[in-house]
């Protein structure tokens, strides 16, 4: 039997692998994408009405917008914050006492957004890491601790009374463990519109159906100047270019690179239906301070709830009169987001590692996939 060979193999069909596949498909390139499923950590409920992984999309996500169906707008005024046994909404008196800090934070975010938009555009045809390094402002942020950045800019009160809870409920990590770039990136919903979404999984699948292999990769080897990818079902497949677009901890296991990963964020997610108690039913999302085991409770459009916590066995009766658990998932890790470690794109001859290794987010991961495809196609500027 003749050995199976393709010019390029993409391991992983998450948003980064999809970005790479679409760009190669546009150029009639010979490739296969191998993954147990389409979407990676974008996982839907059985009813296909609730997203378990990535939860929101920003209006500045221009490249990924065509792959999702925009849902309800997330209204900051409907967020409820819980800190030291005190619950309050966005328009609590705290906001007005921190007015000047809020203005300062808005100005910082506007500056960051301007640099960030240019960075994303350049990253399509230039190295993500080089684009960071070539922007002194962004590179300094990436290598600065978020807590230190907050103190230096004298925005402590507004951040730790509001943004700390938001970051805790979305990044699953306290501010002190993030870099300043990530802190500002995850704070952008303060100045841009944010929406729930549904991933167009079936439409995405139809586009590269003939290039998709539903399988799991066990091992990668380099043989006779080609890469040999061994899968559970399809056996060995050879290629010239290999793109690893799996979650960082899986990429590290497959490629065995030495660079340390960013610190992982972990969380238990419970999708449930039930009668919630009045104190937890005053807004659309409940967010908790970073000293709490609780992370967030989010009311869904189908009247179910997403319940995020660090506790594998939370006392759900504290929050609900009655309930039924539809799904329990331990995100371990949900993503690697702490610190400022950098994973290089190129990990060997024609061997590339992409994804959310350096910058977390749907848009950035998708763009990283586009760049990897452009690299193979010889269409990058570096």
Q: Does pTM surpass 0.85?
A: yes
For residue 141, being part of any structural domain is answered with no
Number of domains composing the chain: 1
- How crowded is residue 110: how many other Cβ atoms within 10 Å of its Cβ? 10
Q: What are 163-207's pLDDT values in tens digits? A: 999 999 999 999 999 999 999 999 999 999 999 999 999 999 999
The β-bridge relationship of strands 263-276 and 305-309 is: antiparallel
For residues 139 and 133, is the Cβ–Cβ distance under 8 A?
yes
Name, in order, each residue with C-beta under 8 angstroms of 238's C-beta and a sequence gap of 6 or more.
3, 4, 5, 6, 223, 226, 227, 228, 229
| Percent of the chain residues past pLDDT 70, beyond the cut | 99
Average pLDDT over residues 243-272: 97
For residue 245, being part of any structural domain is answered with yes
**Half-sphere CA count of 225, side-chain side, radius 13 A:** 0
- Model confidence band, residue 357 (pLDDT cutoffs 50, 70, 90): very high
How confident is the model at residue 235, as a pLDDT?
Answer: 93
- Model confidence band, residue 107 (pLDDT cutoffs 50, 70, 90): very high
For residue 185, being part of any structural domain is answered with no
Average pLDDT of the chain?
Answer: 95
For residues 140 and 161, is the Cβ–Cβ distance under 8 A?
no
- Exposed/middle/buried for 202, CB within 10 Å: 0-12, 13-18, 19+? exposed
| 54-58, 123-127, 243-247, 295-299: least confident range | 54-58
pLDDT at residue 2 tops 60: no
SS (H, E, C) the chain: CCCEEEEEEEECCCHHHHHHHHHHHHCCCCEEEEECCCCCCCCECCCCCCECCCCEEECCCCCCHHHEEEEEECCHHHEEEEECCEEEECCCHHHHHCHHHHHHHHHHHHHHHHHHHHHHHHCCCCCHHHHHHHCHHHHHHHCCEHHHHHHHCCCHHHHHHHHHHHHHHHCCCCHHHCEHHHHHHHHHHHCCCEEEEEECHHHHHHHCHHHEEECCEEEEEEECCEEEEEECCCCEEEEEEEEECCCHHHHHHHHCCCCCCCEEEEEEEEEEEEEECHHHCCCCEEEECCCCCEEEEEECCCCCEEEEECCCCCCHHHCEEEEEEEEEEEEEEEEEEECCCCCCCEEECCEEECCCCCCCCHHHHHHHHHHHHHHHHCCCCC
Q: What are 225-249's pLDDT values in tens digits? A: 999 999 999 999 999 999 999 999 9
CA distances from 315 to 170, 242, 273 (A): 21, 46, 15
Q: What is the dihedral of CA 254, 260, 265, 267, to 10 degrees?
A: 40
- Model confidence band, residue 1 (pLDDT cutoffs 50, 70, 90): very low
For residue 89, being part of any structural domain is answered with no
Range of the domain at 22: 4-46+199-262+343-377
How confident is the model at residue 85, as a pLDDT?
Answer: 81
For residue 25, being part of any structural domain is answered with yes
* Interaxial angle between packed helices 15-26 and 362-377, expressed in degrees from 0 to 180 and rounded to the nearest 10: 40
- Model confidence band, residue 94 (pLDDT cutoffs 50, 70, 90): confident
pLDDT at residue 260 tops 90: yes
* CATH value at residue 204: 3.50.50.60
Q: Which among 380, 382, 363, 373 has a CA at the least distance from the CA of 120?
A: 363
Query: Which strand ranges, in their side-by-side order, compose the sheet holding 194-199?
Result: 56-58, 194-199, 68-73
For residue 187, being part of any structural domain is answered with no
- Model confidence band, residue 292 (pLDDT cutoffs 50, 70, 90): very high
For residue 296, being part of any structural domain is answered with no
Q: Which among 245, 252, 246, 224 has a CA at the least distance from the CA of 236?
A: 224
Average pLDDT over residues 282-293: 92
Q: What are 49-70's pLDDT values in tens digits? A: 899 988 889 999 999 988 999 9
How confident is the model at residue 78, as a pLDDT?
Answer: 92
For residue 272, being part of any structural domain is answered with no
Q: What are 212-231's pLDDT values in tens digits? A: 999 999 999 998 899 999 99
Q: What are 30-53's pLDDT values in tens digits? A: 999 999 999 999 998 988 889 998
How confident is the model at residue 87, as a pLDDT?
Answer: 92
Average pLDDT over residues 348-368: 97
CA separation for the pair 128, 203 (Å, rounded):
28
- Model confidence band, residue 358 (pLDDT cutoffs 50, 70, 90): very high
CA separation for the pair 97, 90 (Å, rounded):
12
CA separation for the pair 253, 288 (Å, rounded):
34
């Amino acid at each position: 039997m003749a050995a199976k060979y393709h010019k390029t193999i993409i391991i992983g069909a998450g948003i980064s692998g999809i970005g790479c596949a679409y760009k190669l498909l546009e150029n009639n390139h010979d490739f296969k994408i191998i993954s147990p499923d389409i979407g990676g950590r974008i996982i839907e409920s059985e009813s296909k009405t609730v997203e378990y992984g990535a939860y929101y999309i920003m209006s500045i996500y221009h490249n990924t917008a065509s792959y999702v169906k925009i849902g309800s707008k997330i209204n900051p005024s409907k967020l409820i914050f819980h800190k030291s046994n005190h619950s309050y909404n966005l328009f609590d008196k705290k906001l007005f006492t921190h007015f000047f800090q809020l203005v300062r934070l808005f100005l910082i975010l506007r500056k960051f957004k301007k640099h960030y938009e240019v960075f994303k555009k350049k990253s399509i045809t230039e190295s993500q890491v080089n684009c960071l390094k070539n922007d002194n402002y962004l590179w300094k942020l990436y290598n600065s601790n978020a807590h230190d950045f907050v103190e230096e800019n004298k925005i402590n009160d507004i951040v730790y009374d509001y943004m700390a809870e938001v970051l805790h409920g979305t990044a699953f990590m306290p501010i002190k463990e993030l870099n300043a770039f990530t802190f500002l990136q995850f704070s952008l919903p303060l100045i841009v519109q944010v929406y729930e979404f549904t991933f167009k999984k079936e439409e995405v699948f139809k586009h590269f159906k003939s290039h998709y292999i539903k399988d799991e990769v066990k091992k990668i080897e380099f043989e006779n100047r080609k890469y040999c990818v061994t899968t559970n079902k399809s056996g060995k497949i050879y290629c010239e270019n290999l793109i690893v677009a799996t979650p960082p901890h899986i990429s590290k296991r497959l490629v065995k690179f030495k660079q340390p990963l960013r610190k992982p964020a972990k969380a238990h997610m419970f999708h449930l239906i039930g009668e919630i108690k009045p104190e937890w039913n005053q807004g659309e999302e409940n967010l908790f301070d970073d000293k709490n085991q609780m992370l967030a409770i989010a009311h869904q459009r189908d009247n179910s709830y997403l319940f995020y916590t660090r506790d594998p066995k939370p006392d759900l009766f504290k929050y609900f009169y009655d309930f039924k658990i539809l799904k329990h998932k331990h995100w371990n890790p949900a993503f690697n987001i702490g610190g400022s470690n950098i994973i290089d794109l190129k990990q060997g001859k024609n061997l590339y590692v992409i994804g959310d290794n350096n910058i977390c987010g749907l848009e950035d991961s998708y763009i990283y996939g586009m760049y990897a495809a452009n690299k193979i196609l010889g269409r990058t500027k570096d």
